[in-house]
Each structure stands twice: as structure tokens, then as C-alpha cells.
């Protein structure tokens, strides 16, 4: 390394990068090839971490020299040896990035599991609930799943006057992030409640951020514990489950509102809606359903039956949603009651925005709205977020209900033709956080005002 100063090392690194980019795994790194001129002072890789760690390279060379009995402190290294050291450092850095990502993924996965399952009541057989079938197209959902927190944060920080000096109840607080937002916005007191072991981490987080005087963490079901106050000014919660109501805490939120919220108090969020749209995806059906018709030449059609029985949680691409969504349930959180969570028959009409060779099912997602007062409507929402295909991906993804083609053919739709019908939704009989969804539908040619060739269909799906 003799003769190479910091600038020389920068040139060597950038020269080596450029040669490797051209496919040369063992480039000629003779000094005359890179030291002349300033061409290789410009980074080949944007924000190259190695360029910020040149001291590490010199330190590594010095340690190598000191640890060898055959070399004196004046020992020099060839450029090839330096290049090898660079490769070693790169490999170590890549391994560090990999392990850090793996640890972060595992942490978020376990954290989500804690928040989603440990706070749930056990089912009648003593076992905890299990999530519905869920498909992940990538690992990105682990990092995007908390993006909706931005909507909570933005609403709170943009409306600090609503929180200043107020008492806030955070139901199902999890790690306590919403409580932290409220405290920073000026709340006089925040009571964070969770029935799972995550509350212990929430206490640590509150203490670590110096907010123990403002935020009080309590473990237990909101229905069972005694709050240190008679009334609160605001109730905030991320109570939503898959398909909005699956394994959701809305019953507890309603109970807390009726028991603790001041008559002029505020619910955050203030409104929620369930949305329905059409689904058509030949590739998905081929990969996940009809695949079982012939597996290496053997029929396994019995394996595809469950595809039509259960709601599947997955990320649906907008290209596979050939209609706009329509609202079939609206929940105003200031007034909604438990009985409102059962739908016997909500009519809908979905219009095909394009020709559809075959209709494969329905997509269900939910939208969340934040308003500044009890008298406000959804149209007055200051902030909102969607879990639909057109929005940023969340851990809720979308709920997919596939049409059972084994009973009859699905519809072929022309642009502007409609699917008209009704949807029913109710909680399961065995476990109260399960959902049963029934849809009956028929294709209609709206321009001719006549029924299409498909007869009225009806199908029921479970989220269990």
C-alpha cells in the first residue's frame, strides 16, 4: 500500500468498481491505470460505503503487517493484495446488511404476532385464533406494514389543539406508538391499555423516551380493568383486523366509548368503510387453483376445494381489479353499535371498466378516516388511508373471495356491463372474531337493462 494516500485509495476503489462492473473479476490494478488524472475520484456506486471506510482498509493492512512475524512494519502490499482486502471488507459489509435485515424482519414478524394474537381471547377449545390464509408476494410487507402509522401521526400533529391538555385513552396500544404521538402533541395524560405481553415493551419505550409522567401503561382487557379517570376526552386505537372486522377489537372499542368517552369526546379514527370490487386474474387462478387439475399428470382436484371456501389475504394488483370499488358498509365510530356490525343484505352494483374474459372473484378492502369532531362526515376527513389495491401496501393487504367455478361458469363481461347483487356479513358461530361472508350476484347489461347469460349465483366464504 506504499505510495497510496487517501486519494490514491479512492481512485483504486472506483477503478476496481468500474472494472468489475464491466465483468472483469480479476482486473489489472497497476497504478498507471488509475492514478493519472481525476477520472476515478468520481464514485462509481452512489453513496459507496467503502469510500467512507478507507480508514478501515488502512487499519486492516496495518493489523495484517503487525500480526505477521515474517513482515516488518515497512512491509508493502501489492495492489492485488489491497484489492483482495477490499473484496473481504465488501463481503463482510454485505453479510452485515443481510443479517441486519433478517433480524429486523424477524423482529417485526414477532412483534406483529404479539400484537395480533397475544391480545386476543382464546377460542372455545382453549386455543388462540389463527390468521386466515395469507400470501406474501415479497418480504416488503414487513417494512411497509406500519406505513399507515403516518396517517395517525399526521392527523395528531396537524391538530395538536385537539390534544393539548386532554386525557387520551389508547386501546390495544401495542408498542405505544400512538400514545407517544399524543403525548408529543401536548396531551395532559395518556392511558395506554393492552392485554398482551407487549405492554411490558411499551412501558420500556415510554420510559426510554422520557414520557413516563404523561403515559400510564395498563395491562388487561379494557372491559376488566379500572382506569384512573372517570372520563376521557379522546379514544384512539388501531383496532382494525383483516377485512376490517376479522379478529378486530371493535367490540371493545364500542364498550370503551360507551363507558369512558366524554359526551363531547373524539374517536380516532372517526369512520371506517368496507369496499367491494371485482377480481380477474388468469395467472393467479392457473398458479393457485387449476394447478391441482393435473400435477405431473395426476388429478388432485380435491386440493383446490378450500380455495373456494376461505377468504385469502393477499396483495392484489390494480391490473386485476376491473372495476371501481363500492362501499357496502360504513361505520361512524362515534355512534356505531355492535348490532351494526352484522349485515343481512347490502346491495351493490359493480360496473366493469374493461372487457373481462372471466370473472374470478371479489376483492374486499377497507378505508379509514380521521375527522376533527363528532358532527363531521367522511367528506370532512382531514386525513385518511386505504388498504385497497390502489394505495400503499399495508399488512392488512386485501381479502380475496374466489368464485367456485366447479359449480358453474363465471361471467364474461363487456366494458360497462354490471355485476349486481347483495352481500351479507356476520360473525362466526364458534369464535366471535371470525367472519362469514355471503354474496349473491348476477351479470346485467346496463345499456340494455337486461340480465346477462349468467344466472343468479350465491356463495359463502369464511375467515377462520
**Distance in angstroms (rounded) separating the CA atoms of residues 417 and 352:** 6
310 in Cβ contact with 461 (< 8 Å): yes
Q: How many CB atoms lie within 10 A of CB 221?
A: 16
Told to judge if 450 belongs to the known catalytic residues of this protein, a careful annotator would answer no
Q: Find the catalytic residue in 115, 238, 393, 417.
A: 238
For residue 230 the three cell numbers come to 372517570
State the greatest distance between any 2 C-alpha atoms of the chain, in Å, as a whole number.
94
User: Which residue in the list 247, 393, 417, 434 is annotated as catalytic?
Assistant: 247
Closest-CA residue to 314 (of 405, 246, 395, 239):
395
CB neighbour burial string for 309-348, b if at least 16 within 10 angstroms, e if fewer:
ebbbbbbbeeebbbbebbebbebbbbebeeeebebeebeb
Asked if 175 and 151 count as a contact pair (C-beta separation under 8 A), the reply is: no
The 3-class SS string of the chain reads CCCCCHHHHHHHHHHHHHHHHCCCCCCCCCHHHCCCCCHHHCCCCCCCHHHHHHHHHHHHHHHHHHHCCCCCCCCCCCHHHHHHHHHHHHHHHHHHHHHHHHHHHHHHHHHHHHHHHHCCCCCCCCCCCCCCCECCCCCCHHHHCCCCHHHHHHHHHHCHHHHCCCEEEEECCCCCHHHHHHHHCCCCEEEEEECCCHHHHHHHHHHHCCCCCCEEEEECCCCCCCCCCCCEEEEECCCCEECECECCCHHHHHHHHHHHEEEEEEEECCEEEEEEEEECCHHHHHHHCHHHHCECCECCHHHHHHHHHECEEECCCHHHCCECCEEEEEEECCCCCHHHHCEEEEEEEEEECCCECCCCEEEEEEEEEECCCCCCCHHHCCEEEECCCCCCCCCCCEEEEECCCCCCCCCCECCCCEEEEEEEEEECCCCCCCEEEEEEEEEEECCCCEECCCCCEEEEEEEC
Please indicate whether residue 238 is annotated as part of the active site: yes
Question: Catalytic residue positions?
Answer: 238, 247
Amino acid at each position: 500500500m506504499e505510495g497510496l494516500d487517501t486519494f490514491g485509495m479512492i481512485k483504486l476503489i472506483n477503478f476496481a468498481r468500474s472494472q468489475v462492473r464491466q465483468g472483469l473479476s480479476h482486473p489489472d490494478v497497476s497504478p498507471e491505470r488509475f492514478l493519472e488524472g481525476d477520472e476515478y475520484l468520481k464514485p462509481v456506486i452512489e453513496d459507496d460505503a467503502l469510500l467512507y471506510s478507507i480508514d478501515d482498509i488502512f487499519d486492516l493492512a496495518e493489523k495484517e503487517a503487525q500480526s505477521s512475524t515474517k513482515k516488518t512494519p515497512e512491509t508493502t502490499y501489492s495492489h492485488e493484495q489491497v484489492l483482495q482486502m477490499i473484496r473481504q471488507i465488501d463481503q463482510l459489509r454485505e453479510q452485515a446488511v443481510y443479517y441486519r435485515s433478517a433480524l429486523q424482519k424477524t423482529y417485526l414478524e414477532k412483534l406483529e404476532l404479539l400484537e395480533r394474537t397475544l391480545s386476543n381471547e382464546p377460542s372455545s377449545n382453549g386455543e388462540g385464533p389463527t390468521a386466515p390464509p395469507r400470501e406474501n408476494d415479497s418480504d416488503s410487507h414487513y417494512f411497509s406494514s406500519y406505513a399507515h402509522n403516518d396517517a395517525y401521526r399526521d392527523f395528531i400533529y396537524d391538530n395538536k389543539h385537539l390534544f393539548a391538555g386532554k386525557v387520551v385513552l389508547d386501546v390495544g396500544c401495542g408498542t405505544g406508538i400512538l400514545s407517544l404521538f399524543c403525548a408529543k402533541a401536548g396531551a395532559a395524560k395518556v392511558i395506554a391499555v393492552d392485554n398482551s405481553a407487549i405492554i411490558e415493551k411499551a412501558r420500556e419505550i415510554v420510559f426510554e423516551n422520557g414520557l413516563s409522567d404523561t403515559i400510564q401503561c395498563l395491562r388487561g382487557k379494557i372491559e376488566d380493568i379500572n382506569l384512573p379517570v372517570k372520563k376521557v376526552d379522546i379514544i384512539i386505537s388501531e383496532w382494525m383486523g383483516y377485512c376490517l372486522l376479522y379478529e378486530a377489537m371493535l367490540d371493545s372499542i364500542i364498550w370503551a366509548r360507551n363507558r369512558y368517552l366524554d359526551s363531547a369526546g373524539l374517536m380516532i379514527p372517526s369512520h371506517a368503510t368496507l369496499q367491494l370490487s371485482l377480481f380477474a386474474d388468469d395467472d393467479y387462478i392457473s398458479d393457485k387453483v387449476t394447478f391441482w387439475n393435473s400435477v405431473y399428470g395426476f388429478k388432485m382436484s380435491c386440493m383446490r376445494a378450500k380455495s373456494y371456501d376461505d377468504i385469502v389475504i393477499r396483495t392484489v394488483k390494480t391490473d386485476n381489479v376491473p372495476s371501481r370499488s363500492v362501499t357496502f358498509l360504513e361505520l361512524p365510530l362515534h355512534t356505531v353499535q355492535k348490532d351494526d356490525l352484522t349485515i343481512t343484505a347490502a346491495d351493490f352494483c359493480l360496473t366493469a371498466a374493461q372487457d373481462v374474459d372471466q370473472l374470478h372473484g371479489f376483492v374486499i378492502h377497507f378505508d379509514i378516516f380521521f375527522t376533527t369532531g363528532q358532527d363531521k362526515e367522511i367528506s370532512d376527513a382531514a386525513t385518511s388511508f386505504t388498504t385497497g389495491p390502489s394505495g400503499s401496501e399495508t399488512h392488512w393487504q386485501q381479502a380475496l373471495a374466489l368464485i367456485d367455478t366447479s359449480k358453474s361458469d363465471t361471467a364474461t363481461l363487456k366494458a360497462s356491463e354490471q355485476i349486481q347483487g347483495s352481500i351479507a356479513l356476520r360473525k362466526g358461530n364458534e369464535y366471535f372474531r371470525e367472519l362469514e361472508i355471503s354474496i349473491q350476484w348476477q351479470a346485467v347489461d346496463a345499456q340494455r337493462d337486461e340480465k346477462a347469460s349468467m344466472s343468479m349465483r350465491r356463495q359463502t366464504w369464511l375467515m377462520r
